[in-house]
Amino acid sequence: MSRTSSEIHGTSRITIHEGKLDEFKRLAAECAAIVRTKDTGTIEYNMYLNATGTECFVHERYRDSAAGLEHMNNIAVIMNSLSQVCTVTGEVCGTPSADLREALESAGVTIYEPLESIER
């Protein structure tokens, strides 16, 4: 078993509603602040904005399922506000615990379990 087998990797694809870029940037900064100050098992949390400011891509990496669940709980306070300015879809790669799986599925996140893996 590899040392990263318990890690959870995620992506969020965000479509920013027309005229809402400034509000989205404010909320994205709030998300980043939450990750910095409250998440204890987040390894990576990187946001990328396209050239036109209409889409954002988030790359996320968590130590394990508990860390992924902690993150979901921490950012729950901002999700309603985000839903007013953008549409978010997400994917997770890994083997989430039953609790994390339930939370992800109820949020509409697609889960991809390991099939093949090469690490060097």
Mean pLDDT of 15-40: 98
Percent of all residues in the chain with a pLDDT value above 70, rounded to a whole number: 97
pLDDT digit string, tens, across residues 55-96 = 999 999 999 999 999 999 999 999 999 999 999 999 999 999
Domain count, the chain: 1
The CATH number covering residue 24 comes to: 3.30.70.100
Structural contact between residues 43 and 63, judged by C-beta atoms closer than 8 angstroms: yes
- For 84, the domain range is 17-112
Residue 3 lies in a domain: no
Residue 88 lies in a domain: yes
For the range 2-6, what are the long-range contacts, defined as Cβ-Cβ under 8 Å and sequence gap of 24 or more? 2/117, 2/119, 4/119, 5/95, 5/114, 6/63, 6/64, 6/65, 6/94, 6/95
Helices and strands per DSSP (H, E), number in the chain? 3, 5
Task: Name the pTM for this structure.
Answer: 0.91
Q: Which parts of the chain are beta strand (E)? A: 8-16, 42-49, 55-62, 86-93, 110-112
Structural contact between residues 39 and 67, judged by C-beta atoms closer than 8 angstroms: yes
pLDDT at 9: 98
